[in-house]
Amino acid sequence: MTDLIRNTAAETAAAIAAGEVSAVEVAQAHLDRIGAVDEKVHAFLHVDTDGALSAARAVDAKRAAGEELGPLAGVPLALKDVFTTKGVPTTAGSRILEGWVPPYDATLTRRLKDAGVVILGKTNMDEFAMGSSTENSAFGPTGNPWDLSRIPGGSGGGSAAALAAYEAPLAIGTDTGGSIRQPGAVTGTVGVKPTYGTVSRYGLIAFSSSLDQGGPCARTVLDAALLHEAIAGHDPLDSTSIDAPVLPLVAAARQGATGDLTGVRVGVVKEFAGEGYQAGVMQRFNESVEILRGLGATVVEVSCPSFSYALPAYYLIAPSEASSNLARFDAMRYGLRVGDDGTRSAEDVTALTREAGFGPEVKRRIILGTYALSSGYYDAYYGSAQKVRTLITQDFARSFADVDVLVSPTTPTTAFPIGERADDPMAMYLADLCTIPSNLAGNSAMSVPCGLAPEDNLPVGLQIIAPAMADDRLYRVGAAVEAALDNQWGHPLLEEAPAL
């Protein structure tokens, strides 16, 4: 692999700005990499070769004209196929949107383009972001570049796999119950769920509107911080957007990289351990806690008893919102249309289209959500789940009164084999056991690689959780752990990696 592929996003941007390499050369190197390995990985659903090279040429023209380039200008990126992209197919991993080409950009997409980021294409995902393995994509599963027979996490497995396979130095995901952090953990990459409302959801195809949050994915904490700053900020087109300044995330990452966490208080979540956790995951997590101590942090155990109810609460709230959001896919306005032969009613066409266009997991969640919202059951199910959500938020508030961040394993296990949990929804849902509470509370969280599990030599993620509007704490602590572990374990994929 050339340095153009190995370089971090920060290194690539600096080289382009200095004229050491052109943005077109960088884009072409990554397009060539995609051409060489993506048939095996299947990280991308659509590669926008012409669009990427055109964007790269625009960056080169600005530099040639003497214009100052932004901190990520010319850096390639893989975009999860749940953000609308003008003129480029957007499917959300579903047959029901196959062939749909949006007439507008999501705010996040527009901000990437404004920053000079080169969007290589759209990445594979669980259909409508419903899943933990990217096996629920209507267009086939994505492989984990560490071991192509294993899952790359979900729902944003395509974005994480693209990073791990060196197909892109940056990626975008969405996190509804862990769909950025869990893929980051099992692919050895960095994934961040920003505070809810700090990254615009306008143009994000909704799964669960009170939980969905776009965020950065990268191979280093600093790269994630650079991307996070580029996409964050108030958006009047999003009614849930928070009107507040973007935090100094890059500065926090640079501070953390110095390796000094003196004065930082870290809470270890008592409830995220025990039965069901892989021994190697816990071993690497416990070692990470000792690293935090060695960097000067004060570490204490914290109990959040309501977290044990997070999983069932989530699987009532998220499907309930999904059943409402997905009602818009009715075969009348856009996307797939089945059975419209001139003899059938609109209702019949809608039913036939939804039967053909939605996959089993999406149907399962629509049915569950519709039931939970139905007359006579609303208070018992959806209403009770919202009460649990309040209790979880209160647990976080009590904890953050005593500590600056919380830590836990990101996932209970390393990447499991493709197909192993396909017929066991409950086992699949348990992959998000540690990540869901942050979505319910709306606060920020990061997964940063913390080593390889000794049983299977697969990546383990350390989850760092911060209060809402304190995302900068993630970057300080995450960069410190990353710096301490640097060179102790290799990058996810070198050229000789057996998976590719």
From 179, 200, 399, 408, the catalytic residue: 179
What digits encode the pLDDT tens for the residues 76-88? 999 999 999 999 9
Would 234 be classed as within a structural domain?
A: yes
The predicted structure's pLDDT at residue 493: 41
Tell me whether residue 155 is one of the annotated catalytic residues: yes
CA 287 to mean position of chain CA atoms: 25
| Confidence (pLDDT) at 491 | 46
**Of 22, 155, 399, 447, which residue is the catalytic one?**
155
208 belongs to the catalytic site: no
Kindly report the pTM of this predicted structure. 0.96
Query: CATH number, domain at 165?
Result: 3.90.1300.10
Q: Tens digits of per-residue pLDDT, 439-453?
A: 999 999 999 999 999
Residue 76 lies in a domain: yes
Average pLDDT over residues 73-77: 98
Query: Is 133 part of a structural domain of the chain?
Result: yes
Flag whether 343 is in a domain. Answer: no
Q: Could you write out the DSSP letters of every residue in 191-235?
A: EEEPPTTSB--TTBPPS-TTT--EEEEESSHHHHHHHHHHHBS--
Mean pLDDT score across all residues of the chain: 94
pLDDT top residue among 463 and 376 = 463
| SS3 assignment, position 461 | strand
Active-site hit among 22, 80, 159, 323: 80
Model pLDDT, residue 332: 87
Q: What is the pLDDT of residues 252-289, one digit of tens each?
A: 999 999 999 999 999 999 999 888 999 999 999 999 99
Predicted confidence (pLDDT) at residue 484 exceeds the cutoff of 90: yes
In the residue annotation, 408 being an active-site residue is answered as no
User: Which is more confident, 491 or 149?
Assistant: 149
Number of domains the chain contains = 1
Structural domain contains residue 500: no
pLDDT at 488: 55
User: Is residue 69 situated within a structural domain?
Assistant: yes
Cα distance between residue 90 and residue 123, in whole Å: 10
Asked whether residue 249 is domain-assigned, the answer is yes
Provide CB contacts within 8 A for 65, sequence distance 6+.
Answer: none
d(CA 16, CA 26): 9
Domain span including residue 397: 3-307+390-485
The partner residues of 147 in beta bridges, in order of sequence, read 144
Question: What number is the average pLDDT over the span 427-450?
Answer: 95
The answer, yes or no, to whether residue 137 has pLDDT greater than 50, is yes
Q: Looking at the DSSP assignment, which residues form a beta bridge with residue 447?
A: 191, 463
Rounded mean pLDDT of 206-232?
Answer: 97
Q: Is residue 202 in some structural domain?
A: yes
Q: Of 454, 377, 358, 470, whose CA–CA distance to 414 is shortest? A: 454
